[in-house]
Structure 1
Amino acid sequence: MKKLIWLGCFMSLFYCTAAAQVMSSTTEVSLEIRNILESFAPDKTAQVGEQHFHHPDLLIAFYSNRQFEPVWVNDGKWHDLASDLLVQIEESKYDGLLPASYHLSAIKEVISLDKQQSIDNGHPVHQAYVDLLLADAYFGLANDLYLGKVVQKGLQNSWEITPKRVKVDFGEAMKRGLESGDISKSLEDFWPRYKVYRSMRKSMKEFYEMDESLEEKWEKVGGKTLKVNEENKSVPAIRERLIYWNDLLSYTVPNEELYDSTMLAGVMHFQKRNGLDADGVIGKDTYTALNASPADMVKKIAVNMERMRWLPDTLLEGRFVMVNIANFQLDYLENNGLDTVFTSRVIVGKEYHTTPVFNGEMAYIVLSPTWTVPSSIIKREMIPKIRKDANYLNRNRLKILTYSGKEVSPSSIDWSKASSGNFPYMIRQSPGPSNSLGQAKFIFPNKHNVYIHDTPSKSLFSKDLRAFSHGCIRIQQPAEFAEILLEDDSKWDMQRIREAMDKGKETTVMLKEKVPVVLIYLTFWADPSGKAHFRKDIYERDDAIAKALLN
């Protein structure tokens, strides 16, 4: 019995001593974490050794709240989930981010994927450094996945969509991820909630793998404009490029240099997939698209994944209207953007009258609208036309009015002297089929005075590249759009809508509930089936984002 008592006392002493050693070690690491954090200079980049810490404010707040206790290291060993964090950092390239931005090389120096957890240098200072390094990497990656890496201000990309309101605590998310044993999921939870993002990420991985598997240098193809049944030395290279992108199956070619009908189908498929005029003519835009390498595609996907991170989550609440300017298409969406209630082709602004990127709320519809011509159009376009053609105003049913509402005869104005500085009138176009706004307009009040409207120029919708407006969005199916927006209003059905559109007198219809509208600019997306869609960068906005994102 005495031996058992002695043994029990010995074991108790052993465990107490071991606990004291661990406590002492943890206390020393905590002390060094505090010392390092206190060394951060205010208003300057925090640096420890060669590593610049990106989120010193988050680090200070997080560790202060836990009395500077380490989370990633314990008694000379790193947490077994640190290797999972390393994997997430390496795979951040599939989010269009640079793994090197998250201390990749420094973390690799102290952590390997072989589950050997001991830190080579067990000094408390080094353990504190490793703990802070891993925490800063997590905060940096979580922040960039949730809010985006690129600061939009100064990009001059006309992006004015209301940003996300930060509703997350990155420190608490990291702590929960460690406690649950799933640090990977805790980071995936910061991905944009739009399901399309996951499809885009899958495409990114595929294009990365294509780029890595290339055995030869990506050669550019080019030459003169080609039409079907023409012969040219560049045809074999173009055919091979179409086969590479799976727009054309390999087939026996009697004449290598002949642009034949089989190849025509492949060209048109390629053009359609890239949002080009699918006319089968191989010209400048088609050559540019053909010359885009997998590496170029990776960069393009990265830019658009960043744009997805800029979108506010509030758009997912109920139905919303989305216009992708680069795709010339309007969609009325629900269920996380997965289900399309209505879709229509649209026309957007010209390169020098670009349609801005912003969001708002649709409040009302005007059927059989008048058009009060913006002063910028009067000064730049109408006055020169009136000088050349005295009947221009009458032919287009345009009236000149004073701001008191009195109509003014065009003959009473000396048009040779009319200019931007001395034209104190408004010009208004009466309702009707020839009205520039067509027979319906859809208003979501905004500072740009941009809205969606009908147009008498229906033939333009047959083109695949449709950048012809002064910035507003012209819709191909205005009556159908009005019907879907008014489906919860029993006073309006298709018959009444069309009657009001043909009435020749304005009718304003207030929506019972405002509908969120977002005008976005995406030159790449992937649909739920995983199919990749690329579009021409009509406003040349991608490069500025790519430089900020990937440098």
Structure 2
Amino acid sequence: MVMRRLLFTLGLLAAGLALFIPAGHGQDFGSEVRRQLKDRIGRAATPPKIAVDGEVLCTCDTLARFYRSRGYLPAWSDANGPSPLADGLVAELRQADTHGLKPENYHLERIEAMLAEARTGGPRPEELAELDLLLTDAWLLYASHLLAGQVNPVTLGAEWHIKRSEADLEKLLRNTLEAGDISAGLNALLPDGPGYGVLRDALGQYRKLTAQGGWPAIPDGPTLKAGDSDPRVTTLRARLIVTGELDPALAEGEEFDDKVAQAVIRFQQRHGLAPDGALGPKTLAALNVTAQERVKQIVVNLERMRWLPAELGSRHIVVNVANFTLDVVEDGQPLLTMRAIVGRTYRQTPSFSAKLDRIIFSPYWHIPHSIAVKDLLPKIQKDRRFLARQKIRVFRGSTQIDPKTVNWRSLSEANFPYRLRQDPGPLNSLGRVKFMLPNRFNVYIHDTPSRELFDRAVRDFSSGCIRIDMPVELAGYLLADDPSWTSEKILAAIEQPQETLVRLRRPIPVYFLYATAWVDAEGTLQFRDDLYGRDGPVAAALEAPPPRAVLQPSRRRGGEEGAGGQAGRSGHAVW
């Protein structure tokens, strides 16, 4: 009898406890969440538009495929409610701002609220289904932004024509969930090499400086140099101390002494200015750019790094147009660095990639039609000897004609049926060497007879092509695997009166980039002026929220050119 009473009492207790167990945590709880997900996705249109609380999600197409592929099983919860994977994703989304991205773009506030409610009030299946959809949308969107950038540079008109990284995000999400490590899965999508991480660290440092008030603005006034004394020097000292160019122990004094001059030189070197040690107008302007503006500049360049393909190639060439430099990189190390001249602001050098596969020694210059009619025709019309002095020949079709038989004054931009070609030699605008890389922009790399221009700090003098100051050295590197091309043979080829075409045994990818902020190999944060005004549109686009119901295509991980490491050197981007 006692045993029967005990069993009866335990039965009543169990029944009573059941009344206090949340309804969603029964045996069929997971099946009900699954049914809710299937219903929500099944009711979506084609292409699908899935909404949570009236807000259409961003990755509806990819999200729908993801759930269909797993039979609508919830990804972020189990029979006990939200899983630790949800917390892992929330932790990552809270760090989005360290990448220059906005956590609010990934439903963070709503996800946190729904998680808190699910763990305190006992969630209903439909609520867990909505939470699952939000978490999956957040992961897919955030992952795509880490992989290839938030902004599409093609639609932005940023003159960026380099294929971005690609990956199958559905597969990556499945693998991440199975591995149980959200952080590792997302970090694997970040740009390779050290450059991205150190620039991300610099973002944190400059945000801290901004929160502390930034740095003082230096008043306008005459140029100051070593030996001068002026009250503005005290402010200059304070300004240089904030960003580390001057020792804090040297804060006092109105004298522009040698230590201040050296600090100014250090500032000028990391801002691409002529390192003369004087506080002139350009240096003053750079010093007075606010910390908040520098933060925006770093954010823009983090985004540009996410636009790059996953791999640049074990050996490749990088032209940083904003820095007026060309770097040859092999196995992660810069082998050659040279000064470059880039396109003028009205004939900008675009950002693109191509394979350099040929070298031409003593090249002819087949003058582009636009240059012929806009630049040369006015000179020809003013000076009938111009063509002869410049060794320029005139062709109609394939037939060479005597320029004296042409009525040049009757010609115009709209009426110019001729081709112009400059002979090889010391006057040739391409110099002694031309590096060919087929591309739709007709941009290539070449020598120049105007060597004096390389002494300028800002070198935007070309019509879009890249002129370099070490063409013979670059040719020697590219032909190093061909024993027939000795240094003596190269030097002889550049002196010949006719051009010589050489096809490379190993073509090399070339990337024409536009970086206005990066951390160099020595750990120094570098800034450059926004030569072409491209930073502003990117910054504005990053401020805007992502569009809703954007279809996210499946992505294949991989770049357009080669495979391998990325590197740089002092003053040059560590890509």
Is TM more than 0.5 here? yes
TM-score where L is the length of structure 2: 0.86
Match of 1:322 among 318, 325, 345: 318
Match of 1:272 among 264, 269, 273: 269
Sort the Cα spacing of 1:400 and 1:234 in 2 relative to 1 into closer, same or farther, 3 A: same
Match of 1:349 among 343, 349, 362: 343
Offset at residue 253 of structure 1 (A): 7.2
Does residue 246 of the first structure (1) align with residue 240 of the second (2)? no
Structure 2 SS opposite 1:70: coil
CA distance in 2, matches of 1:259, 1:377: 48
Offset at residue 118 of structure 1 (A): 2.4
Whether the 8 Å contact between 2:270 and 2:524 is mirrored in structure 1 is no
Sort the Cα spacing of 1:71 and 1:283 in 2 relative to 1 into closer, same or farther, 3 A: same
Whether the 8 Å contact between 1:77 and 1:119 is mirrored in structure 2 is no
Match of 1:221 among 218, 241, 244: 218
Could you say which residue in structure 2 is the equivalent of 1:158? 159
Match of 2:235 among 234, 237, 245: 237
Does residue 536 of the first structure (1) align with residue 535 of the second (2)? no
Residues 228-285 of structure 1, C-alpha deviations (whole Å, 9 max, x = no match): 14555543323211111111223557852x4443322212211110112223343443
Residues 290-328 of structure 1, C-alpha deviations (whole Å, 9 max, x = no match): 223333222211211111111122423x31111111111
CA distance in 2, matches of 1:127, 1:529: 49
Structure 1 SS opposite 2:119: coil
Sort the Cα spacing of 1:21 and 1:270 in 2 relative to 1 into closer, same or farther, 3 A: closer
Offset at residue 195 of structure 1 (A): 3.3
CA distance in 2, matches of 1:494, 1:45: 64
Alignment of 1:94-493 (within 5 A): 94-111=98-115, 118=119, 120-164=121-165, 166-168=166-168, 170-212=169-211, 214=212, 216=213, 219-228=216-225, 229-230=227-228, 232-252=230-250, 256=254, 258-316=255-313, 318-335=314-331, 338-409=332-403, 411-493=404-486
Moved more, 431-440 or 527-536: 527-536
CA distance in 1, matches of 2:208, 2:280: 29
* Paired residue type of 1:269: R
Moved more, 217-226 or 389-398: 217-226
Structure 2 SS opposite 1:427: strand
CA distance in 2, matches of 1:21, 1:45: 30
* Paired residue type of 2:64: I
TM-score where L is the length of structure 1: 0.89
Residues 62-88 of structure 1, C-alpha deviations (whole Å, 9 max, x = no match): 111222111212234211132221121
CA distance in 1, matches of 2:469, 2:44: 58
Could you say which residue in structure 2 is the equivalent of 1:36? 40
Match of 2:492 among 485, 488, 499: 499
Match of 2:82 among 70, 75, 78: 78
Percentage identity across paired residues of the two chains: 35
Offset at residue 513 of structure 1 (A): 2.3
Could you say which residue in structure 2 is the equivalent of 1:518? 511
Moved more, 324-333 or 400-409: 400-409
Sort the Cα spacing of 1:444 and 1:236 in 2 relative to 1 into closer, same or farther, 3 A: same
Offset at residue 28 of structure 1 (A): 1.0
CA distance in 1, matches of 2:124, 2:538: 42
Structure 2 SS opposite 1:503: coil
Offset at residue 135 of structure 1 (A): 1.4
Structure 1 SS opposite 2:34: helix
Whether the 8 Å contact between 2:217 and 2:239 is mirrored in structure 1 is no
Whether the 8 Å contact between 2:518 and 2:525 is mirrored in structure 1 is yes
Whether the 8 Å contact between 2:25 and 2:80 is mirrored in structure 1 is no
The count of residues paired between Structure 1 and Structure 2 equals 529
Whether the 8 Å contact between 1:92 and 1:98 is mirrored in structure 2 is yes
Whether the 8 Å contact between 1:227 and 1:280 is mirrored in structure 2 is no
CA distance in 2, matches of 1:58, 1:404: 55
Does residue 87 of the first structure (1) align with residue 91 of the second (2)? yes
Could you say which residue in structure 1 is the equivalent of 2:569? none
CA distance in 2, matches of 1:280, 1:86: 48
CA distance in 1, matches of 2:252, 2:312: 54
Offset at residue 25 of structure 1 (A): 0.5
Gaps of 5+ in 2: 545-575
Residues 445-504 of structure 1, C-alpha deviations (whole Å, 9 max, x = no match): 111111000001111112221111111000110011001101111110211111101112
CA distance in 1, matches of 2:174, 2:222: 60
Work out which structure has the larger RCO, using CA pairs closer than 8 Å and 6 or more positions apart in sequence.
Answer: 2
Residues 326-368 of structure 1, C-alpha deviations (whole Å, 9 max, x = no match): 1111111133xx3112221111011111111111111100001
* Paired residue type of 2:209: M
Gaps of 5+ in 1: none
Sort the Cα spacing of 1:261 and 1:433 in 2 relative to 1 into closer, same or farther, 3 A: same
Alignment of 1:1-20 (within 5 A): none
Whether the 8 Å contact between 2:238 and 2:251 is mirrored in structure 1 is no
CA distance in 1, matches of 2:318, 2:187: 25
Sort the Cα spacing of 1:111 and 1:278 in 2 relative to 1 into closer, same or farther, 3 A: farther
Structure 2 SS opposite 1:513: strand
Residues 191-240 of structure 1, C-alpha deviations (whole Å, 9 max, x = no match): 1224322222222222233333x1x4765334135131455554332321
CA distance in 2, matches of 1:289, 1:532: 14
Whether the 8 Å contact between 1:203 and 1:530 is mirrored in structure 2 is no
Structure 2 SS opposite 1:313: coil
Residues 110-140 of structure 1, C-alpha deviations (whole Å, 9 max, x = no match): 346xxx9825341111111111111111111
Sort the Cα spacing of 1:167 and 1:44 in 2 relative to 1 into closer, same or farther, 3 A: closer
Sort the Cα spacing of 1:255 and 1:189 in 2 relative to 1 into closer, same or farther, 3 A: closer
Structure 2 SS opposite 1:382: helix
